[in-house]
Structure 1
Amino acid sequence: MKTTNTLGRLTRGCITTLLVVPALLSAGTSLAQTKDPVVDAIVKEETDNSQLQPLAHQLLDGIGSRLVGSPGMAKAGEWALAKYKEFGITARQEKWGEWRGWERGISHIDMVSPRVRSLEGTQLAWSPNMKKPVTAECIILPEFADSVAFQKWLPAVKGKFVMISMLQPTGRPDYNWTEFGTKESFEKMKTDRAAQIDAWRKRIANTGLTSRTLPPALEKAGAAGIVTNNWSAGFGVDKIFSAYTKKIPTVDIALEDYGILYRLADGGEKPMIKIQAESTELGAVPTFNIIGEIKGTEKPNEYVMLSAHFDSWDGGQGATDNGTGTLTMMEAMRILKKVYPNPKRTILVGHWSSEEQGLNGSRAFVEDHPEIVANLQALFNQDNGTGRVVNIGGQGFLNSYDYISRWLTKVPANIREGITTTFPGSPGAGGSDFASFVAVGAPGFSLSSLGWSYGNYTWHTNRDTYDKLVFDDIKNNAILTAILVYQACEDPNKTSRDKAVMPINPRTGEQSKWPSQTKATRRGGLD
């Protein structure tokens, strides 16, 4: 376990404090060898009786993606309540707002001319329903000298599918070029790609619009639909986000097929495609968090929290974002209820909704439960894929090294030794739900995981599916989380909330500020 400092220059006193950490961790090696029956029971339960795979199958295969406002999210909430009841854990659904309800239907996309080919693609979230399939020509957004030229061209989109994404120069990820390409060809490709990206950005900018406002403008001008390719820099993988159109479909077509259409259109061959994209608008639907609870016996009004967002984008199954965090916390709660049913402090788990639209579920919880936030011993959040936890930062809390290091000494060496700790670290301003708590000065910590190509292959993509889960790593994370929660409950002292002195921003020369609280959006996509 490595300890690093990220705050730059520190006072002599701070340096002395930080130097104590290796000694603490070294002492922890012998402490960890002292048998703790609860720790042993946690490890044994997960090793011999893990429920992660059946839970994953039920959530990811049986229910699937959990877009906020969708029936999938509602079904997942019902499932979670039923599972917690099965575990003997009290759980509740807490409504905190409402969202535009939407249900995905089928997406069929076919090229019908100059030849027939079924295309890989899907409608974006909240894309409008098509009452019947539409067949039309695909055209490319051309280059414009300025917005005046764009406005003169705009009537040409009537009845056409408009392609508004750049043609990628390669469908091979960079690591593939590094392995097989010559240095010269790789550098040339990167140079050409950078030039294309700059040129395409200028193409969009010269319309006088943005990538967000362009689709509605094309819709208003009578386009039949919007065609995009949001490649995620990996083989066969695209980011699937939300549509900005109200009446016409917006579909993402995979790089390989998008390239075919683009080259045909660019060559004047007027490719024709047929799109059928069905969806159902459900009006305003409630948004909710699922909160599970194991009541404390000695200090019931002090809290230790497990945390993971429950919602997902819906291009895949929401497996690593954030099915894995959800499964980790559910499994840790199941184990704790079985082997540590009478904790000293109350244990809560928060399964948040609408994290993907801006941490809204956890921000709402922070606003609605000041009594819990004020008495929070610690919160542990996991949200960056299937990998085993390899980093825990102090989030800018000056004395976090003290309690986190002590709690980690109880973690088995094979798990603990792979974790780097950073004290006091810097407070996270976003990224995931722990930041909602850090912003109000409550000790929320991120259990950060190994990547497993998360950014390119599974984060918000069409490939975020069950088969990408690495259950051995998730088992480690469930054990780690359960032990940290157990230790936080048992600690005789309340955790310190003293904040480290923030560093000077080298760009501005001014002292950095602690992140400020952001209010939850409680009515989404309805105005």
Structure 2
Amino acid sequence: MKKLLLSCACLLIFVAGFSQTTEEIVSAIQKEANENSQLENFAHELMDVIGPRLVGTPQMKNANDWAVAKYKEWGIAAENQEWGKWRGWERGITHIDLVSPRVVSLSGMQLAWSPSTGKKGITANLITLPQIADSIAFVKWLPNVKGKFVMVSMHQPTGRPEYNWKEFATEESFEKMKTERDSLEKAWRQNMNNTGYTSRTINKALEKAGAVGIVQSRWSNGFGANKIFSAGTDQIPAVDISLEDYGMLYRMVEHGDNPQIKIVAESKELGTVPTFNTIATIPGTELPDEYVILSAHFDSWDGATGATDNGTGTISMMEAARILKKVYPNPKRTILIGLWGSEEQGLNGSRAFVEDNPEIVAGLQAAFNQDNGTGRVVNISGQGFLHAYDYIGRWLEAVPKDISRHIETNFPGNPARGGSDYASFVAVGAPAFSLSSLSWSYWNYTWHTNLDTYDKIVFDDVRNNAILTAIMTYMASEDPEKTSREKSVLGINPRTGEKGVWPEPRAPERNGGKD
């Protein structure tokens, strides 16, 4: 009994001392973040100067090297760790022009990994996909594409997003528009299905049949916003054109105006290139083999500059690391900052890190990941770990109320099965958590679009996130207890009716981009 009382007294003395230190550290974190923020500088250098960070491009490697140099400025050891190889490619100048029946430059861009047209470009007429009865009819129609640009996207009946119609239209007009759009989308999906291909596989069939290029418009349901992904072709160029210009071209084809366009897309093939995660380390002083990881994916699609996907997550983690190194330079546990490569193609960088570093995964105290836009963090889930409330709750207590009051928690929650890099750790039973952000119209306007640029960043929210991350990291590092990995019993999946199971780890693609 005396030993038990003595142990309790020692614990109370430790907690009291820890609490006092916590207050000082939290205050110092806030002061540094608010009075000496580097977020705007990071954003300018990363988004404006380096630009998009598509895996396999020189810009991605430039970003890796930039981050290493930044960490070293702050006295943080960092390196680029090769995890695989990818198809090397670099975007060049793109011009898309209507040359007949009138001349006008169109708004659009080459898709990722699209073959080059060369400096002279390609000039040809356009053709749209017809109504197809079945795959046999499609095969019979295919010779019609020879020598033409093929338009492979649905013609949108309106370029106004639904919220705009709902605000200004009459109720009858709004319902009429929705009915028409829903009917057209259903018919388009069925027609695509009738070809025997999908929107992802049809481009190669058209290429094989002799098309000279692919023209698409993958509208993102927002003014001026289109999703920009990969070309899906081996020899012919593929471009995305704005809804407005695509609609004009589509109507010209349908009305028999015989439109002709010229595409110049000067991309470069660079062979196979190495790909990297950038890993920075602040060594632990007492428990160096236990880890707290600050996590964000570094790569992006290249329709714009990847500002909110995931430039903001990247600069939040880097700013948190900079602040911690300044006000908490000798952490109890080792702090790692992981900026992952090729998240957009399937969490490849983080999956490779988990696969290659079992000792770090075994010693993981917690990982904090931020990836869904510029907004302040508003949700943290326990990711299915039964006792996550015990430690996440303790750490959140130290966060100032003006930040924590925005945050809802969900314990024990359900384990992530994808979506972002924390899922790579969760799949192997390691405690990793998403710092999930307020939307700021992320899905329609900046997620994988041509509008994901610096001007969409809300720096007040990003600053809050850097403060939150730094405090949570400090608390996780100093916590006298190791976090529990006990899993909760998962309930019935409402979609399948089957009992939930923990996600299985998936191997990374280490030699990608060839298709």
* TM-score, length-scaled by structure 1: 0.93
Pick from 442, 446, 450: which aligns with 2:430?
442
CA contact (8 A) 1:157 1:222 kept: yes
Three-state SS of the structure 1 residue aligned to 2:330 is coil
Correspondence 1:388 to 2:388: no
Pick from 483, 489, 492: which aligns with 1:501?
489
Structure 1, 467-476 or 147-156: larger mean CA deviation: 147-156
Which position in structure 1 is the counterpart of 2:9? none
Tell me by how many angstroms 1:34 deviates.
9.4
Instruction: Write out per-residue CA displacement over residues 55-74 of structure 1, whole angstroms, 9 at most, x where no aligned residue.
Output: 11110111000000000000
How many Å separate the matches in 1 of 2:412 and 2:19? 23
Tell me by how many angstroms 1:510 deviates.
2.6
The amino acid across from 1:66 in the alignment is: R
Instruction: Write out per-residue CA displacement over residues 421-453 of structure 1, whole angstroms, 9 at most, x where no aligned residue.
Output: 111111111100000000000000000000000
Tell me by how many angstroms 1:507 deviates.
4.3
Pick from 62, 66, 69: which aligns with 1:79?
66
How many Å separate the matches in 1 of 2:171 and 2:386? 46
How many Å separate the matches in 2 of 1:246 and 1:504? 44
The amino acid across from 1:400 in the alignment is: A
How many Å separate the matches in 2 of 1:240 and 1:510? 36
**For the structure 1 residues 52 and 262, does the alpha-carbon distance in structure 2 shift closer, same or farther, using more than 3 Å as the test?**
same
How many Å separate the matches in 2 of 1:136 and 1:438? 50
CA contact (8 A) 2:84 2:276 kept: yes
Correspondence 1:471 to 2:459: yes
Pick from 109, 115, 122: which aligns with 2:109?
122
The amino acid across from 1:86 in the alignment is: E
Instruction: Write out per-residue CA displacement over residues 387-418 of structure 1, whole angstroms, 9 at most, x where no aligned residue.
Output: 00000000000110011011011101100111
**For the structure 1 residues 290 and 34, does the alpha-carbon distance in structure 2 shift closer, same or farther, using more than 3 Å as the test?**
closer
Three-state SS of the structure 1 residue aligned to 2:88 is strand
Question: Identity of paired residues, percent?
Answer: 69
Instruction: Write out per-residue CA displacement over residues 111-150 of structure 1, whole angstroms, 9 at most, x where no aligned residue.
Output: 0111111100001000001122111111111112222222
Pick from 151, 161, 170: which aligns with 1:182?
170
Which position in structure 2 is the counterpart of 1:519? 507
The amino acid across from 1:306 in the alignment is: L
Which position in structure 1 is the counterpart of 2:6? none
Tell me by how many angstroms 1:35 deviates.
6.8
How many Å separate the matches in 2 of 1:269 and 1:168? 19
Correspondence 1:68 to 2:55: yes
Correspondence 1:107 to 2:94: yes
How many Å separate the matches in 2 of 1:83 and 1:260? 47
Which position in structure 1 is the counterpart of 2:298? 310
CA contact (8 A) 1:311 1:355 kept: yes
Instruction: Write out per-residue CA displacement over residues 220-271 of structure 1, whole angstroms, 9 at most, x where no aligned residue.
Output: 1111101000000000010000011111110000000000000010001111
Instruction: Write out per-residue CA displacement over residues 73-117 of structure 1, whole angstroms, 9 at most, x where no aligned residue.
Output: 000011001000001100011101000000000110010111111
CA contact (8 A) 2:22 2:398 kept: no
Which position in structure 1 is the counterpart of 2:151? 163
Three-state SS of the structure 2 residue aligned to 1:59 is helix
Pick from 341, 344, 350: which aligns with 2:332?
344
Pick from 212, 216, 233: which aligns with 2:204?
216
Which position in structure 2 is the counterpart of 1:55? 42
Correspondence 1:43 to 2:30: yes
What are the residue-to-residue correspondences of 1:121-520 with 2, within 5 Å? 121-131=108-118, 132-520=120-508
CA contact (8 A) 1:225 1:248 kept: yes
CA contact (8 A) 2:154 2:185 kept: yes
Instruction: Write out per-residue CA displacement over residues 134-167 of structure 1, whole angstroms, 9 at most, x where no aligned residue.
Output: 1111111111222222222211111111101100
Correspondence 1:94 to 2:81: yes
The count of residues paired between Structure 1 and Structure 2 equals 497
How many Å separate the matches in 1 of 2:449 and 2:188? 23
How many Å separate the matches in 1 of 2:338 and 2:150? 42
How many Å separate the matches in 1 of 2:514 and 2:172? 51
CA contact (8 A) 1:51 1:331 kept: yes
CA contact (8 A) 1:32 1:409 kept: no
Unaligned runs of 5+ in 1: 1-30
The amino acid across from 2:500 in the alignment is: S
How many Å separate the matches in 2 of 1:165 and 1:396? 40
The amino acid across from 1:242 in the alignment is: S
How many Å separate the matches in 2 of 1:186 and 1:483? 47
How many Å separate the matches in 1 of 2:122 and 2:21? 69
Unaligned runs of 5+ in 2: 1-17
Three-state SS of the structure 1 residue aligned to 2:279 is strand
Tell me by how many angstroms 1:300 deviates.
0.5
Three-state SS of the structure 1 residue aligned to 2:185 is helix
How many Å separate the matches in 2 of 1:507 and 1:431? 18
Instruction: Write out per-residue CA displacement over residues 191-213 of structure 1, whole angstroms, 9 at most, x where no aligned residue.
Output: 11111111111221222222122
Which position in structure 1 is the counterpart of 2:4? none
CA RMSD of aligned residues (A): 1.3
Tell me by how many angstroms 1:506 deviates.
3.5
How many Å separate the matches in 2 of 1:133 and 1:400? 57
Three-state SS of the structure 1 residue aligned to 2:508 is coil
Tell me by how many angstroms 1:491 deviates.
0.2
Q: Which runs of 4+ in 1 moved over 3 A?
A: 31-35, 506-509
Instruction: Write out per-residue CA displacement over residues 434-478 of structure 1, whole angstroms, 9 at most, x where no aligned residue.
Output: 000000000000000000000000000000000000000000000
**For the structure 1 residues 222 and 502, does the alpha-carbon distance in structure 2 shift closer, same or farther, using more than 3 Å as the test?**
same
